[in-house]
Amino acid sequence: MSELKVGLAGLGTVGAAVFRMLERRKAELEARTGRTLRVTAVAARDRSRDRGLDLGGVIWFEDPVALARDGDIDVFVELMGGDGDPAKAAVAAALDRGIPVVTANKALLAKCGVELAQRAEASRAGLHFEAAVAGGIPIVKTLRESLAGNTIERVSGILNGTCNYILTRMAEEKLSFHVCLGEAQRLGYAEADPTFDIDGFDTAHKLAILTSLAFGTQVDADSIYVEGIRQLTLADLEAADDLGYRVKLLGVAVRTETGIEQRVHPTMVPKHWPIAQVSGVTNAVAVDGDAVALTLVGPGAGGAATASAVVGDLFDVARGARGYTFGLPVAELTKAERAAMQRHEGGYYIRLAVVNKPGTAATIARRMADEQISLESIMQRRPDGAETARVILITYATTEEAVRRAIAAIEADGVISALPQVIRIEKD
């Protein structure tokens, strides 16, 4: 039986899980592909660390680029992370010599996806990345292959397991943000630098990749409007709950008259919507095509779930599957538009810390009216002993521009004492 010699760079949460999965599923993968998938060479930082893996007979490279460039391998698997070298240099080196690459690295693809796809095209080596978006959910294949007959209007969803895990545990167990983040790190969900997760960039990286696959654009994370979850408080999540909503960090790419709008921000969604019930590390991706609309739900992070996607890509490599990296030749990918957030329309949750003095409520109401913003509800509460009161406004549909202007005017009136909180609302 012919061998598929796998070179594996990175033996952390995902790399170690891939190594184990290839061992455990060896016989089944042989039966399905007619080939033996064997890790023959690895590169990682610390050779002395006990990872519980049997690395006997596996060649150890100190330098992942040397493994990609010189290793006796048939496929290079990049599971180190990072949007620069050595990940980029290693992936480029493998592709340039015609060796297919499997990676879980969305940061690298978001930054260098077009260049790497060009290299893959030039050498006719495949660049596979199912694990890079929504972990174990097979959304890359679904968009690139299974839905090829559709014109896609919108792709949206919960794309970061760490954030969804934090928001779920905060809302359900009233735990602090930092306790929940620490747990997500301990469970292997978070990025090496978790600011990528909580500030929304990881979701943006994944959305940029989905947008390319769905709409035929060049991957361009810089054209995405991004807000993360760092500023959300337990009080916001409790207020959302009282009002019948859950807060989710959503990534949305939608076709508009002026181009593809891409945005990432916390969003209040009605509790009875299916996406509101997606909890913990689970991700969900909804695709609206002209023939098929569907939602895929599954584990978005974690060693085993992510390894499942990596091994699926290795299965494709073993069978000789080919195709354009983002579904089209690079020369045919169009430029993505920058999201015009000021034109965004919808309901808004606005939390203000107001100073307790006569006329404050009237000032707020007047500034909202000046911008033609209709209020669905106003709640005011003064925590015991506090000098300031918390005012929560829920608006009917309005524009981002109007909300920003009204808040700027209220700030100029000197009636608020802290930065306002604004969360967009999606309604039935």
Is there a catalytic annotation at residue 26?
no
Site string for ligand HSE, 187-206 (x = CB under 6 A): --xxx-----x----x----
Q: Is 106 annotated as a binding residue?
A: yes
Check binding of 130 to ligand HSE (CB under 6 A).
Answer: no
Q: Indicate the residue among 106 and 344 with the shorter CB distance to ligand NAD.
A: 106
**Considering CB distances under 5 to 8 angstroms, the limit depending on partner class, which of ligand HSE, Na ion, ligand NAD, none binds residue 325?**
none
Beta strands in 186-270, from DSSP E residues, in sequence order? 225-226, 245-256, 259-270
Q: Which does 130 bind (CB under 5 to 8 A by kind): Na ion, ligand NAD, ligand HSE, none?
A: Na ion
The only residue of 103, 160, 211, 267 in contact with ligand HSE, by rule CB under 6 A: 160
126 contacts ligand HSE (rule: CB under 6 A): no
Phi, psi torsion values for 389, nearest 5 degrees: -115, 155
φ, ψ of residue 257 in degrees (nearest 5): -65, -25
Under rule CB under 6 A, residue 301 binds ligand HSE: yes
Determine the distance from the C-alpha atom of residue 405 to the mean position of all C-alpha atoms in its chain, rounded to a whole number: 30
- Stated length of the chain: 428
Catalytic residue among 141, 206, 248, 427: 206
According to DSSP H, which parts of 39-160 are helical?
Answer: 64-70, 87-96, 106-123, 139-141
Does residue number 327 form part of the binding site for ligand HSE (CB under 6 A)?
A: no
Q: Which two tokens stand for residue 365?
A: 């109401």
Q: Shortest distance, CB of residue 178 to ligand NAD, whole angstroms?
A: 20
Chain residue at closest Cβ approach to ligand NAD = 12
- The minimum distance between CB 51 and ligand HSE, in angstroms, equals 19
| Contact between 300 and ligand HSE per CB under 6 A | yes
Per partner kind, with CB cut-offs from 5 to 8 A, the member of ligand NAD, Na ion, ligand HSE, none near residue 400 is none
Q: Which is nearer to ligand HSE, 95 or 110 (CB)?
A: 110
25-29: long-range pairs with CB below 8 Å, 24+: 25/311, 29/311, 29/315, 29/318
Which of 161, 203, 208 is closest to 180 using CA atoms?
161
Question: Nearest Cα to 100, choosing from 118, 123, 80?
Answer: 123
Distance (Å, whole) CA 74 – CA 7: 8
Q: By CB neighbour count within 10 A (0-12 exposed, 13-18 middle, 19+ buried), where does 156 fall? A: buried
Task: Determine if residue 141 is labeled as part of a ligand binding site.
Answer: no
Kindly report the number of other CB atoms within 10 A of residue 260's CB atom. Answer: 25
Q: Is 162 in the site for ligand HSE (CB under 6 A)?
A: yes
| Nearest distance, CB of residue 375 and ligand NAD, angstroms | 42
Name the residue nearer to ligand HSE (CB basis): 11 or 391.
11
Tell me which of Na ion, ligand HSE, ligand NAD, none is bound by residue 162, counting a contact when its beta carbon lies within the kind-specific cut-off of 5 to 8 angstroms.
ligand HSE
Crossing angle of helices 161-173 and 177-186, in 10° steps, is: 130
Q: Residue with structure tokens 């309005």?
A: 398
Examine residue 161 and tell whether it contacts ligand HSE (CB under 6 A): yes
Q: Which residues are catalytic?
A: 206
Sequence ranges of the binding site for L-homoserine = 191
Sequence ranges of the binding site for NADPH = 106
Sequence ranges of the binding site for NADP(+) = 9-16
